[in-house]
Structure 1
Amino acid sequence: MISSLRGEVLEIGLDHAVVEVGGVGFAVQATPGTLAGLRRGEQGRVATALVVREDSLTLFGFADNEERELFGLLQTVSGIGPRIALATLAVLNPDALRRALVDGDLATLTRVPGIGRKGAERLALELRDKVVAPAGAPATLPVADGADPRREQVVEALVGLGFAAKPAEQAVDRVLGDDGSSDTSALLRAALTRLGGKGR
């Protein structure tokens, strides 16, 4: 198993980065928060989890081992695959996720796209005894200020996370209408939250 990568960051997209290790560029799927900690052309390190399927090998990257462990833990619950697990970590930081699980905070858990009320109940029931709640945590990752929004990139990232193109476009358009000044990472988080709200 590839548990981490360290090397030059060749590329950073909305939902992935390419890290060169020993002359080989590894594409790593990651959350906006993890990607925000990387800089193109500089050395970077990500904790990783390799997901093997019959038709694919996909590397998922995380800011630290804590996020990677939560990524794996989420997938022990029926109906939660790697894409939903990654979306969960995109919407909720580790502290907020642990607190929501321990408290049985279904409203917070259903903010994640792909997780409805029943899924949230399963998560809380099965994982509340496997995590320790922090003293306090914000519910979402901090929103970064940056470049102008780029609709096509955000839609492409949402489609890459498993959403149909039309709902993704509608969510992005709504988010752009609410706040057109946010950067692409902030827009992606907002669109994820909006799409998640439709599942409640």
Structure 2
Amino acid sequence: MRIIMIALCPCVLFLVMLTSCSRYIDKVNRGAETGVRNGFFIFYPDSNMLIYTSSVGLSRDTEKMSPEHFKVMLPKGIKYYEITNSTDFSVYYDGRQAIWIRIDFDKNLRRDTIYNPTQRELDSLLESRPIVQKSKYDITAKAFSVKRKSVLVKKDGAIILLYNIKPNKYGQFYKSVNSFSFIK
């Protein structure tokens, strides 16, 4: 937190301005044990939950589909998020860290698996991501770091990418996304 003081003339006037060096969208007062609902999110003092439910139908050519409903715990410290076409969910954190969830409507994913993707696979996956608007949090603008962890988690009909996660935060991020489940 920065404190700025300005002194003027002989008569001393102090102007105190408090600004936050970084703002989080998931800030919650400690007393909010039941959580604070904001759209698809519930923000708790120690964690966040994304519960995606939508009744808006989707179409692909002439095929009509219903969006998949799911829930997942997410770490605190969310800076920005995007939800695109009921299929792509991006959540951005400090230090170029991101979680990206893609829902596979074709249900091509049958086995649950976790692995470290190759650089080529990461690039291909990131290029396939729909971009609604350019922002400073765009996952494709984040430089890949070999000192960080990037892991693909495939669960039922979802691909979850933990991207550029700091080693000391990896356990927390992995535990959170491992809670992913579809809501029937």
User: Scaled by the length of structure 1, what TM-score is found?
Assistant: 0.29
Q: Which has the larger radius of gyration?
A: 2
Task: Choose between structure 1 and 2: higher strand proportion.
Answer: 2
User: Scaled by the length of structure 2, what TM-score is found?
Assistant: 0.30
